[in-house]
Amino acid sequence: MPEEVISIRNLHTHFRTEDGVVKSVRGVDLDIGRGEVVGLVGESGSGKSVTAHSVMRLIPPSGRIVEGQILFEGADLAQASVRQMQKVRGDRIAMIFQEPMTSLNPVLRVGEQVADVLRLHRGLSKREALDEARDLLGRVGIPDPQARLASFPHELSGGQRQRVMIATALACRPQLIIADEPTTALDVTIQAQILDLLRDLKRDFGCSVLLITHDLGVISETADRVAVMYAGQIVEVAEVAALFDEPMHPYTIGLMRSVPRLDGDLPEDRLLPVIGGVVPNLAELPAGCAFQTRCPHVHERCRSQEPLLHAVHSGHQVRCWLHDA
């Protein structure tokens, strides 16, 4: 793996709720190398976005990081002050949110929103920042960028708004971009354009990307490595080709089987395979493996002992007793 840009170690993030303490992230370990795209995949509620928000220290007041380290450029972001994080966000680490209409300020023109990042972190004048913003909008494929500087977000299409978010994220040439479901609200054609854009910009700017998604197709086309999350834990990590060729955790195998295929026949009942059961309540987790109630291979050890994430091949780790050496 290339030199690490960020290392997440034993990260635990909990939330206080009326039902008790929800353990949304439970002991996550994840490294992202320089210039690498790492996909983070799993069902809704698996902890993907909370992991990203923990890195950015954007957790709502009901939640907090209770344990772990987020090591970035010689500092532990889990312990960083508010002032230190203000210097990091948008500058060294940038985030692309899944719904740009709720992330962009509806009463500010697009040019101002991109330029504000440059003025804050780079100290540019208003004119210099707007000129740079125009160039960034052009770089991400927005037509007539000079005219679009004066547009409000509601005057742009969904794909154009997402491109504005990407331009804003790229403004200060960050070391790491976190893309949280960047194509969810877009139609298939625009999704493909946004993914092509992310690949091109990663190549041109040399930044690393943490790509969060529930879409295995997006992962297969874009990521170098992939981490699979379930119930707040990473249950499998591998290079993309290895994961698709030989998924090892029963949950990963279930996800793969649930994806519609064009090169095979449907079962006789013409229904896609599904993973039975439901994700456990993160405020009342069972003893042992969190996947035990849904796993077709469950045995007694799974019900009493929690498996550790361990290497089964070079670069391939899995959290499952089936593969315990």
Q: For 36-94, write each residue's pLDDT tens digit.
A: 999 999 988 899 999 999 999 999 999 999 999 999 998 999 999 999 999 999 999 99
> How sure is the predictor about 189, in pLDDT bands with cuts at 50, 70 and 90?
confident
- Lowest mean per-residue pLDDT among 125-129, 204-208, 256-260: 256-260
- Lowest mean per-residue pLDDT among 139-143, 224-228, 263-267: 263-267
More confident residue, 324 or 51: 51
Q: Which CATH architecture best describes the domain 4-92+172-323?
A: 3-Layer(aba) Sandwich (3.40)
Percent of the chain's residues with pLDDT above 90: 67
- Lowest mean per-residue pLDDT among 217-221, 257-261, 315-319: 257-261
Query: How large is the C-alpha radius of gyration of the chain?
Result: 21
pLDDT of residue 215: 86
Q: Tokens 């930044």 appear where?
A: 207
> CA neighbours within 13 Å on the CB side: how many for 298?
15
**Contact criterion met (CB below 8 Å) for 147 and 180:** no
How does the average pLDDT of the chain come out, rounded?
90
Asked if the model's pLDDT at residue 324 lies above 80, the reply is no
**C-alpha span between 182 and 198 (Å, rounded):** 10
> How sure is the predictor about 190, in pLDDT bands with cuts at 50, 70 and 90?
confident
pLDDT of residue 267: 56
pLDDT of residue 13: 98
pLDDT of residue 325: 56
Report, as an integer, the average pLDDT of 152-174.
90
Can you name the residues that pair with 39 across neighbouring β-strands?
211, 226
pLDDT of residue 48: 94
Of 12-16, 95-99, 158-162, 273-277, the range with the highest mean pLDDT is: 12-16
Kindly give the residue spans of alpha helices, DSSP state H, lying in 154-310. 158-170, 188-205, 216-222, 240-245, 250-257, 300-304
pLDDT of residue 98: 75
Asked if the model's pLDDT at residue 220 lies above 60, the reply is yes
The domain spans of the chain are: 4-92+172-323, 98-171
pLDDT digit string (tens) for 109-140? 999 999 999 999 999 999 999 999 999 999 88
Kindly give the residue spans of alpha helices, DSSP state H, lying in 206-276. 216-222, 240-245, 250-257
Residue 143 burial class via C-beta count within 10 angstroms: exposed 0-12, middle 13-18, buried 19 and up: exposed
**Contact criterion met (CB below 8 Å) for 183 and 13:** no
Q: Which two tokens stand for residue 233?
A: 């834990």
Asked if the model's pLDDT at residue 16 lies above 60, the reply is yes
Report, as an integer, the average pLDDT of 278-300.
92
> How sure is the predictor about 200, in pLDDT bands with cuts at 50, 70 and 90?
confident
Asked if the model's pLDDT at residue 274 lies above 90, the reply is no
**DSSP structure class, residue 150:** T
Report, as an integer, the average pLDDT of 128-156.
93
pLDDT of residue 243: 95
Asked if the model's pLDDT at residue 263 lies above 70, the reply is no
